[in-house]
A and B are shown apart, each in its own frame.
Chain A
């Protein structure tokens, strides 16, 4: 946008080659059909009692009213938020720490970076099945050997502990991406800045607080927003570890929409849930973006 600043005032735009329109129209049509139409359909179904097939009736806002008093739905939101918030914080703390380590004067830098990035190229579901076995067999066996009583039962057996296992898998899999992003951010900081800080006798922590972090605040914002948005949609992790069980105790919002909508005959009802979910995600992303951007400005 800045490239055409000395804008010449044109009286009339030259006629545009129709090729440009042909380049975008098919994409526009497909996008309309496979993205926008489903959004509109979803909103429409949210006002009906459709089970997903056959005839349905218009029920007004009844689905929405019912959502707010449905313990299964409320629990799914609570559980999803718990995981999303904890996982976002843990992922970013760990990723930032490892990125700083990888950016220091260490040996085998490329090899280590390569190892830390591995989880990003593996399917969450498949990794999740491996972790499922680790959590339900290996960890209890290890705990029994070391005599750690509370770990002798599988973490996955109850919601009270299963969320920890889900967070561990989530962090294991997605920290890779955040590490690489923070590393890219850290490499934009000139080494002279650190040298100056060292000459002034600043401690490592002080250097990080006052120099490194403000300089990569933009990367922190991107990482936090992407992490939270991703974790709010958590699905594969839970399918692989608990399948939502025991009962419906570890269902996330996405899993609830899937199960209720496709298998539970709650097509209309879960469509209403999707609409609420959409509003929640957009609101949270916006709020988060605003808060972090403001901090970015005030700190730099």
Chain B
């Protein structure tokens, strides 16, 4: 609801037709300036990371906010080789893409079956069973889960994808069912009269209508799987399948001899998601809001 109303207002006065003769208060430049200054709290640490990553070790020291005398791109090469960046990036990408795709395909389906049968005890019970897991934070089950995944030989990338999909159920079912409830049943009934099976109805009629919710669930799962540290830390046993955040942790002791390379490594770990965000900013923000406001 709220997001549907938001875009016209946020798109600024430029898009507003001049037909509104209402007196328009002028732009508050003082507030604009204040917010720009405050936004430096976000930008300065990022600026700091960039300049540090481009210095020589000899240039470190002091407050460290100065510019490098010459750009040491070799730091990125060092970090790339030391941490085996391509491998870690590939692991992160595989796990994230896997988690997003499987989550979208399965969680929406489960939510559909539940949403359309809430008048039956079994499905209603299932709904509360899944959603109640929202109250169980991961640190509480991490000890048994780590043991169990090792036992089942799921202490690898596939196991990690599986856990993201299963643990996402609680929240995703919550928001998917709310959305599916707003889709009129008449659409499905029309398809059923034409002889479509429940299966076909879901994939051909309902799933395409879930677009906005799929975007939300996809974005949230993507941010979670890409940036997560705790789950890979306790699940993955093979260092070769370590994700990007995990690699930063593993190399901490070696980084302390070469901070510029460490910062180059941090930047490379953050870059992919950051670039995605820059290009899909509005989409990401509205997706996150839709998930939270439900």
Contacts and interface: CB of A to CB of B under 8 A. Distances in A.
Interface of A: 1, 3, 13, 16-17, 19-21, 23-24, 26-28, 30-31, 33-35, 37-39, 41-42, 45, 52, 98, 101-102, 104-110, 112-127, 129-131, 133-134, 137-138, 141-142, 145, 172, 177, 180-181, 184-185, 187-188, 222, 226, 229, 232-233, 235-236, 239, 253-254, 257-258, 261-262, 267, 270-271, 274-275, 277-278, 281-282, 285
A37 to B, nearest CB: 7
Given A105-B26, A120-B223, A180-B289, A235 B141 contact: no
A107 B126 CA distance: 48
Nearest to B113: A23
B269 A180 contact: no
- Dominant secondary structure of chain A at its interface with chain B: helix
B62 A253 contact: no
A39 B227 contact: no
Contacts of B31: 101, 104-106
Contacts of B116: 20
Contacts of B147: 41, 52
A8 B28 CA distance: 57
A121 B262 contact: no
Contact of A120 (B166, B259, B263, B288): B288
B254 interface: no
Nearest to B226: A123
A122 to B, nearest CB: 5
Contacts of B65: 138
Interface in B238-283: 244-245, 248-249, 252, 259, 262-263, 266, 269-270, 273-274, 276-277, 281-282
Given A108-B36, A141-B64, A184-B3, A31 B166 contact: yes
Nearest to B246: A125
Contact of B39 (A1, A112, A138): A112
A98 B32 CA distance: 11
Contacts of A120: 223, 288
A282 B139 CA distance: 14
B211 to A, nearest CB: 19
Contacts of A235: 139, 229-230
B7 to A, nearest CB: 10
Interface string B28-48: 110110111011011101101
A52 B147 CA distance: 8
Given A39-B144, A278-B136, 20 more contacts: A20-B113, A34-B163, A35-B133, A98-B35, A105-B27, A112-B36, A114-B285, A121-B274, A124-B229, A126-B244, A126-B245, A126-B266, A126-B270, A127-B270, A137-B61, A141-B62, A187-B6, A226-B292, A233-B138, A239-B229
Contacts of A106: 27-28, 31-32, 35
B135 A274 contact: no
5 tightest A-B contacts by CB? A38-B144, A123-B227, A19-B198, A23-B113, A254-B139
B94 interface: no
A52 B148 CA distance: 12
B248 A129 contact: yes
Contacts of B197: 17, 19
A10 B281 CA distance: 49
Contacts of B119: 13
